[in-house]
Amino acid sequence: MWRNWKSSLRKHCDQYDTILERKRNRKSGVKKEEWDLFVDMESTELACLCRERGKENREMMKNPHTTGRRGSARTVEEMVANDPANPPSRTDIFVVTHTRKNGTFVSEEVRQKMIKINEIVARDPSSKHKDLDHDPVAEGSRLGLGSGVSKTTLMAAAPYKRKAEEAERSKVEFQSQIDDLKQQVIDGKKTQMEI
């Protein structure tokens, strides 16, 4: 019940200072038993600490997006559907997902980043279609590999990755040889049984 509109219930609940006041001023459309349970659950020290920690974490975010529950993936799908001939670049996606509908920015840091991106794209419009080394958004970082993985870090890991791949190939070859030997033993036993 609460998952779909917990935030509006919480806002209503937070208008009152004491648990008793909260329970007396039930939000319309909510059963009394469920409201009492909700107030009790949201009034615990752990729940209050979790909400405070969430607010602090939200404040510390450097690049909060503006897509809400829709998310970046659905925003990209909509951008592609609106203009299938010109798929959006990473720069276009970043600008759309980090700018509010009225054109303002979520934070000063995002505003500074947008200014930098616009300067880079103004100097070289083709830069927004280049690879990650020249991408004004990523600045050489590799997404999907953890925080701040650069091309240098990725290249430094290449020899270890090659060794792991070679070890896997050797393992597959050895397993194939073992399977062949097993088959030879089985065939040899069958031949002995027939004699």
Q: Are both 51 and 87 inside the same structural domain?
A: no
Two tokens, residue 44: 């615990």
Two tokens, residue 183: 């088959």
* Averaged pLDDT of the chain: 81
Q: Are 150 and 140 in contact (CB under 8 A)?
A: yes
Q: Are both 89 and 122 inside the same structural domain?
A: yes
Q: Are both 55 and 77 inside the same structural domain?
A: no
Per the model's pLDDT, the better-predicted residue between 73 and 195 turns out to be 73
Burial of residue 193, with CB atoms counted within 10 A of its CB: 0-12 exposed, 13-18 middle, 19 or more buried: exposed
Mind listing the pLDDT tens digit for each residue in 165-187?
A: 888 899 999 999 999 999 999 99
Q: Are both 54 and 81 inside the same structural domain?
A: no
Domain encompassing residue 44: 6-60
Could you tell me the end-to-end alpha-carbon distance of the chain, in angstroms, rounded to an integer?
76
- Angle at which helix 71-82 crosses helix 90-97, to 10 degrees, equals 120
Two tokens, residue 104: 């303002």
Which residue, 33, 60, 87, sits at the end of a domain? 60
Which residue, 40, 60, 80, sits at the end of a domain? 60
Q: Are both 52 and 75 inside the same structural domain?
A: no
| Phi, psi angle pair for 73, to nearest 5° | -60, -45
In a domain, 10, yes or no: yes
Nearest CA-CA partner of 35 in 18, 19, 48, 50: 19
In a domain, 160, yes or no: yes
Q: Are 52 and 73 in contact (CB under 8 A)?
A: no
Q: Are both 56 and 100 inside the same structural domain?
A: no
Two tokens, residue 94: 């970043």
In a domain, 77, yes or no: yes
Which residue, 14, 30, 60, sits at the end of a domain? 60
Q: How many domains does the chain have?
A: 3
Two tokens, residue 180: 């062949």
Q: Are both 52 and 82 inside the same structural domain?
A: no
Categorize the per-residue pLDDT at 136 as very low, low, confident or very high, splitting at 50, 70 and 90. low
In a domain, 65, yes or no: no
Mind listing the pLDDT tens digit for each residue in 66-113?
A: 888 888 888 889 999 998 888 888 888 888 888 888 988 888 888 888
Q: Are both 12 and 46 inside the same structural domain?
A: yes
Q: Are both 75 and 113 inside the same structural domain?
A: yes
